[in-house]
Structure 1
Amino acid sequence: MEISNAKQVINIDAALTARIDELLSHYPADKRKSALLPILHEVQDAHDNWLSIELQDKVAEIIGIKPIEVYEVVSFYTMYNQKPIGKYMFEFCRTSCCAIRGSEDLMEYTCNKLGVKEGETTADGLFTVVGVECLGACGYAPMLQLGDHYKEHLTKDKVDALIDDCRAGKVELHKLTITE
C-alpha cells in the first residue's frame, strides 16, 4: 500500500454529509459497507481527487467499519488516489490490445515530454502520468483516460495536442457523479 506524507485538509461539509447519507439510504442499516465505493468517489471528488490515510479513517468512521476495510479497497482500485495528483491525470491503458498498438511507448514519450516518471506529478501540479489495467476500449487502441473522457487511437501528435490543450485550459474535466 502506497502512503503519502502530504497533508490533506479534511472537509466533510453539510453538502457532502447529505450526499453520503443519501448514498447510505440505498442500503439496509446492517449493510452500510455496501455504499463504500460510491462514498469514496464522492469524498475523493470533494478532496482534490485523493484520499489520505486520515480521510480514509474518517470514511470508515462515518460508515461504521474498520479502517483496514477502507484501506483494502483504496489500495486495490486504481480509481482511488492515495497521494496528491495533477489536475490532469493521463491514465494510459497498458493491457494487451493497447500495448500491442504502442501504449507503453506513448506513455514513455509522455513522461519524457513532461519530465516525470510513471506515477509522478509535474512540478507545476498540472500532470500525472500512470499506467492502468484495461479501460475497455480495445477497438480504439492505444488509448488513455483523462477525467471522464477517453482519448483513442493515440499518436505522439495527439498526445502533444492534448498536453497543449490542457496547458491552455481547453480541457474540461467532469467529476464522476454516482447516481442510483
Structure 2
Amino acid sequence: MPQLPAPEYPAEVRERLAADAKEIIGRYPDSRSALLPLLHLVQSEEGYVTRTGMRFCADMLELTTAEVTAVATFYTMYRRKPSGDYQVGVCTNTLCAVMGGDAIFSELKEHLGVGNGETTDDGKITLEHIECNAACDFAPVVMVNWEFFDNQTPESARQLVDDLRAGQTVEPTRGAPLCTFKETARMLAGFPDGRPGAVEATGGAGPASLIGLRLAKGESPHPRVVHPRGAAPQGESPGGHPSSHDAPQQTSASDPAHPAGPVTEEGE
C-alpha cells in the first residue's frame, strides 16, 4: 500500500518555521547545505524529525523527500521517534566502560525500566549508550542533552535521572546550564543560546590531557624513573612523574631479580 503524503504543519507553525528556515538558508551559498541545521530546526519543534518535518525541509530547499530522508536516517543525532525531554547518554566506549560506564548503563536500564534508545513512560528520559565524547579525563561520563556529568557512579547517575524526572534543578559538572532536548536542537540549528551564564560557560580539558602541555612549558618536575617493584633505588626519593617511559633505566634496576647490568659501549 502506498504511503500517504506527510501532513503539513498548522499555518501558524509553518509560518514561524519558514521565517527561521529562511534565516538559516541565507547563511549558505548553496541552499542544500542548510539541510543539517534545518533538520535540527524541525526537531526542535516536535522533539524528533517527523515526516512533516522532512517534507518541510524538502519544500524549503527544493529537494525530494527521499533526499531529506536519506540524510535524516544517516545521522544518529536526528531522532526518528518521540523521545524524552532529556537524552541521557552513558559513554560505553573502552575507557568509560572499564571505569564503570557499563555498570552505570545497566543500573539505569533496570532503574528506569527501559532499554537502549527507549523513553520512560512519563516522556522525561530517553536512555542510550553513546560513543566517546572526548572526556576521558573524567571517566565514566554521562551526558544529558550533550552537557557533561563527569566521574559518575551507578548511584550518582540514578540520583541524576530521579532529579530530572522530579523537575529538580540539575547542574552539569562543567559547561553550559542544562536545557531541554528541544532547546538544544534549536541551538544546534544555529540560533543563539540565551540562557543566563551559557555564554560564559566553558568546558576545558582535564588534568591528564594537560600533562603534555605542562611538560612542554617546563611546568612539571623532570621525569623520574619509576621502578615497578615498589621501592626506588637507594638514594632516590619516591614521587615525581608517574610514567616509567620518560627516562631510560638499566636492566638491573628494572628487574632486580635478574640483574644483568648495563650494556657498555664496547658490547661487554
Normalised to the residue count of structure 2, the TM-score between the two structures is 0.58
Structure 1 residues 149 and 35: alpha-carbon distance in aligned structure 2, compared to 1, 3 A threshold? same
Per the alignment, residue 27 of structure 1 pairs with 28
2:103–2:154 contact (8 Å) kept in structure 1: no
Structure 2 CA distance for aligned equivalents of residues 179 and 131 of structure 1: 27
What SS is found at the alignment partner of 2:140?
coil
1:1-180, aligned counterparts within 5 Å? 10-11=9-10, 12-28=13-29, 31-47=30-46, 49-170=47-168, 171=170, 172-174=178-180, 175-176=183-184, 177=187, 178-179=190-191
2:114–2:120 contact (8 Å) kept in structure 1: yes
Structure having the larger proportion of residues in helix: 1
2:89–2:130 contact (8 Å) kept in structure 1: yes
In terms of mean alpha carbon deviation, does 99-108 or 110-119 score higher?
99-108
Structure 1 residues 94 and 74: alpha-carbon distance in aligned structure 2, compared to 1, 3 A threshold? farther
In terms of mean alpha carbon deviation, does 51-60 or 80-89 score higher?
51-60
Structure 1 residues 39 and 108: alpha-carbon distance in aligned structure 2, compared to 1, 3 A threshold? same
Q: CA deviation at 1:9?
A: 7.8
Structure 2 CA distance for aligned equivalents of residues 92 and 77 of structure 1: 18
Q: What do the CA deviations read for 1:56-81 (whole angstroms, capped 9, x no partner)?
A: 12211211112222222222222110
What SS is found at the alignment partner of 1:98?
helix
2:39–2:53 contact (8 Å) kept in structure 1: no
Q: CA deviation at 1:105?
A: 2.1
Structure 1 residues 14 and 57: alpha-carbon distance in aligned structure 2, compared to 1, 3 A threshold? closer
Give the counterpart letter for 2:179 in structure 1. Answer: L
Query: Structure 1 unaligned runs (5+)?
Result: 1-6
Give the counterpart letter for 2:43 in structure 1. Answer: Q
Of the two, which has the highest radius of gyration? Answer: 2
How many residue pairs were aligned?
171
What SS is found at the alignment partner of 1:13?
helix
Q: CA deviation at 1:148?
A: 4.1
Structure 1 residues 119 and 20: alpha-carbon distance in aligned structure 2, compared to 1, 3 A threshold? same
Per the alignment, residue 3 of structure 1 pairs with none
Structure 1 residues 148 and 131: alpha-carbon distance in aligned structure 2, compared to 1, 3 A threshold? closer
Structure 1 CA distance for aligned equivalents of residues 45 and 52 of structure 2: 14
Normalised to the residue count of structure 1, the TM-score between the two structures is 0.84
Question: How large is the RMSD of aligned CA atoms in angstroms?
Answer: 2.2
Q: CA deviation at 1:8?
A: 8.6
What SS is found at the alignment partner of 1:59?
helix
Query: Structure 2 unaligned runs (5+)?
Result: 1-5, 171-177, 193-268
Q: CA deviation at 1:114?
A: 0.6
Q: CA deviation at 1:179?
A: 4.3
Give the counterpart letter for 1:17 in structure 2. Answer: A
Structure 2 CA distance for aligned equivalents of residues 15 and 124 of structure 1: 28
Structure 1 residues 40 and 152: alpha-carbon distance in aligned structure 2, compared to 1, 3 A threshold? same
Higher relative contact order (CA 8 A, sep 6+): 1
Structure 1 residues 94 and 67: alpha-carbon distance in aligned structure 2, compared to 1, 3 A threshold? farther
